Amino acid sequence: MSVHVARRDVVGSAAFSRTAGSGVVATALAYMVIDVFETVRYSHRLRPGRTAQAALLDEWGRCRWLWNEAVHQQKTGRKPTLGRLSKMLTDARGRNAWLRAGSQVAQQQSLRTYAIALDHSFKVKGRGRPKVKRLKDAPVSLEYTTRGFRIKAGVLCLPGRVTVPVVWSRDLPSEPTSVRVYRDNLGHWYASFVVRRDRADTPEAMQPAEIPLDSSSSTTSPRGIRQPIASPRTAMAPSRTAPRSRPPRWSCARAARPRDASCRPDRGPRTRRRASPSRRGPRSRVDWSPPG
């Protein structure tokens, strides 16, 4: 989320005077209206059909190939900048009909995202170099600018005559400047629109007097008086004053058992007796004589 400040025209002015020494100094003040807005994302669920899903996956395959080609350029030491990658895309689309069948906007945005990731890997501490995107574990994500999409009758229209219905859970505050179509781990498709909205449209936060300091011990009434409340954990926990049930202990007066065989003349030493052949059961006999 980013916040921007824009200035409008002067809507009013005022003047006053004050005495400085022996003269009068007149000062004029001009009042200006400051319009503050922020850039946010609005995500909505998509309901693509089989044809639309196949087209989106094909487009993702082209963008993934370009990303991996840019990673190869970096590993070989060719220093892929955004200008070089754009020229490489133009040459590749001229030679391959497979790339020309896709959207140039989505492919260009994929290379732009790679260039930004590569630049951050040198400037931001802890960021690694962009890696190869594998088919089995790379998340599907496509980026479109205003030249590559439009919204018509509540349906998202993408290049290649791909139309995807959108589940509008809320209205967009302004016209979207870009959209990101992606798929999560559960296979659900979403569209994330980048829009601008005024700061006045955002919900106001609670006042400090209305927020309790400790919700488990007290609450704040509308008059600002703190009242104690019972916490769910405290209500379910046993009382400290209640007697606890302890497991029974063995009596200390119990005599220890003799471990020596001489102390037990009636039982004798502990020896294991081998079972008689009759109790063992019949043994299996194997005939080792040669056949015939």
pLDDT digits (tens, 9 = 90+) for 115-170: 999 999 999 988 899 999 999 889 999 999 999 999 999 999 999 999 999 999 99
Distance separating alpha carbons of residues 207 and 57, to the nearest angstrom: 48
- Collapsing DSSP to helix, strand or coil, 101 comes out as coil
Whether residue 226 lies inside any domain: the answer is: no
DSSP structural state of residue 88: H
> Domain boundary at 199, 222, 253, which?
199
In this model, does residue 1 exceed pLDDT 80? Answer: no
Same domain, 166 and 120: yes
Q: Are residues 146 and 48 part of one domain?
A: yes
Whether residue 263 is contained in a domain is answered as: no
Query: Per mean pLDDT, which of 203-212, 218-227, 244-253 is the most reliable?
Result: 244-253
Evaluate whether residue 279 is within a structural domain.
no
Question: Phi and psi for 61 in degrees, rounded to 5?
Answer: -65, -40
DSSP states of 120-152 as a string?
HHHHSTTPPPP----TTTSPPEEEEETTT-EEE
- How many domains is the chain partitioned into structurally? 2
Q: What is the pTM of this model?
A: 0.59
Give 167-218 pLDDT, tens digit per residue. 999 999 999 999 999 999 999 999 999 999 987 655 555 555 454 444 444 4
Q: Could you report the per-residue pLDDT of 68-84, keeping only the tens digit for each? A: 999 999 998 888 899 99
Range of the domain at 28: 2-38
Task: Check whether residue 51 and residue 184 sit in a common domain.
Answer: yes
